[in-house]
Structure 1
């Protein structure tokens, strides 16, 4: 199936919550999740800590259907401290299976860099599981470097998994 055109990345709105929750559940994987697979009744995607204004959404144009959710990225201040206000942290990135390999994750990352700069940040960080080679390769290709490793931080499915801390500066 040919890829559908990617629309400009936009900020999420409260009405996106159900579709984002469905995407989160559909993309759950042991490759990146430390929490168990979500079970009904599902928690809402947006709550006091996870707000629409912290999420950027990618959509594709599907003929006859209009825009379809292709992925999202959540980018937030890592702490409420004033001395840390120059940093934004990626705390979630998901791409629908049908949209993988079409540059959606890369578009979301780049849009998050622009949004972080708009908010006055000069640095972006993230955490990724050590065994998630595809995500680590993508982040490295987008300028992230490993800044620390918490060895054996998680015990998942019978083995210890590293938590890899990555970061990158934002050019003005």
Structure 2
């Protein structure tokens, strides 16, 4: 089957994904999307007390871990229970252009609905035009901008808030 017809497999992360996801995180780190300086050091675990396997969807492509997406409730407030938030999306460099990010977004929306959410939100850096185009093509709209919210490599960068309704 041609590569263009192969669909990624999206699944929940498991503890055994730690090393593969940590390595992917190091390979894909960029100031285009990261507000933390530098990639995480080799040997640092991917999962910790705040970043649990249950928060992540993993994309596999041709049997290899190709990407991940972190999906969580943005707060523990009952009034906020109808919202899920994407707090990280990464696709390995070798897997780009194969529909991995789109498949992860579709799976995140489906999982959010399964969890009873009516909305899904995310934040993206203003200078990350490729990610913004991807999110817009997946139905997300800009709902707010925090101008110059981050100072990254000597430049002020906007924090763009995007969201999408999941129900009619």
Counting only pairs closer than 5 Å after superposition, residues 47-62 of structure 1 correspond to structure 2 as: 47-61=48-62
Alignment-derived partner of residue 136 in structure 1: 132
Cα pair distance change 1:31/1:83, threshold 3 Å: same
Q: Distance in 1 between matches of 2:42 and 2:100?
A: 29
Q: How many angstroms does 1:39 deviate by? A: 4.8
2:108 match: 112
Give the 3 Å change call, closer, same or farther, for CA 96–39 of structure 1 in structure 2: closer
Partner of residue 152, structure 1: 148
Aligned residues: 167
CA RMSD of aligned residues (A): 1.6
> Do the aligned partners of 1:155 and 1:161 also contact (CA within 8 Å) in 2?
yes
Q: Which runs of 4+ in 1 moved over 4 A?
A: 1-4
Any unmatched runs of 5+ in structure 2? none
Which ranges of structure 1 fall in alignment gaps of 5 or more residues? 62-66
TM-score between the two structures when normalised by the length of structure 1: 0.92
SS at match of 1:9: strand
Q: Deviations over 1:126-172 (max 9, x none)?
A: 00000000000000000000000000000111111000000000036
- Which deviates the most, 3-12 or 95-104? 3-12
TM-score by length of 2: 0.94
For 1:104 and 1:7, the matched residues in 2 are separated by: 6
User: 1:19 maps to which residue?
Assistant: 20
Equivalent residue number for residue 127 of structure 1? 123
1:4 and 1:60 in contact (8 A); partners too: no
